[in-house]
Structure 1
Amino acid sequence: MREFNTSGPNIAHQHYTIERTPLIEHGLKLVEKSRYFTIWAPRQTGKSTYFRQLADKLTEQGYKVAHINFENYKDTPLNDFLYRFNGKIIIHEKIIA
């Protein structure tokens, strides 16, 4: 049974979710054109849910999607961040260096 979600990730089959098909399609077009974009909105308005839905569509189309919460790295020196990020990609993709 679905319920309203007021914190944490919104999971469509568990929580009431507003379909944002036109916005997802717009995001797909931007990615296909190699365009970078951000979304600015107040807390708890669906930004993370949007990017998860967009990531799902991109994955379906064969893209490799990385999800990074930069808040976790706000005080991390650039070289340390790059080392950790590279390590996570290698682990996730099972790449042997």
Structure 2
Amino acid sequence: QKPRRTFEKSGLVIPDQSFHVYLENVTNTDNEDIQTMVDKGRYFTIFAPRQSGKTTFFYDFCRSIEGDPYYIAILLSFQTYQNLPGSEFYENVHTNIQEQITDRLKKLNCKELCDIICLFSLQCIFIFK
């Protein structure tokens, strides 16, 4: 018997296990999809009820642009940071962003990766010391 789907109460919605709204063909008032808005450098927001699949949509979108070397998608979920003191919050966000950029540049075989990692190290000294 197939397991029943549930409504998630918190965290990432897993589409094959949870009820959620498929956010396919999302467009703005100019009928531009998310890819077009990103290509144009536009800002956008998605309004939908809690646990409806907004974060899942963004994860899926970021996976869809992984093949394009022009983009480095950064995904942050602030739920895991909500109880941290300010300095720890910023340090965690900084580390998370740095790791995602480094991982992406490794996948792209970036020739300047070592130089970029050195720059990150220097920034850490100035920011957190």
Q: State whether structure 2 residue 25 is matched by structure 1 residue 22.
A: yes
1:34 corresponds in structure 2 to: 41
Q: State whether structure 2 residue 99 is matched by structure 1 residue 91.
A: yes
Question: Secondary structure of 2:25's match?
Answer: helix
Q: State whether structure 2 residue 5 is matched by structure 1 residue 4.
A: yes
User: For residues 49-88 of structure 1, what are the structure 2 equivalents within 5 Å?
Assistant: 49-62=56-69, 63-71=71-79, 72-73=81-82, 77=86, 81-88=89-96
Please, what is the CA RMSD of the aligned residues?
3.2
Question: Secondary structure of 1:89's match?
Answer: helix
Deviation at 1:80, TM superposition (A): 5.8
Identity %: 24
Distance change (3 Å), C-alpha of 1:17 and 1:44: closer
One-letter amino acid of the structure 2 residue matched with residue 46 of structure 1: G
Contact 2:20 2:51 in 1 (8 A): no
Unaligned runs of 5+ residues in structure 2 are 104-116, 122-129
One-letter amino acid of the structure 2 residue matched with residue 43 of structure 1: R
Q: TM-score, normalised by structure 1?
A: 0.65
One-letter amino acid of the structure 1 residue matched with residue 49 of structure 2: P
Count of residue pairs the alignment pairs up: 95
Deviation at 1:57, TM superposition (A): 1.3
1:2-22 deviation per Cα after TM superposition (whole angstroms, max 9, x unaligned): 75242242344x447765432
Instruction: State the distance in 1 between where 2:7 and 2:55 align.
Output: 13
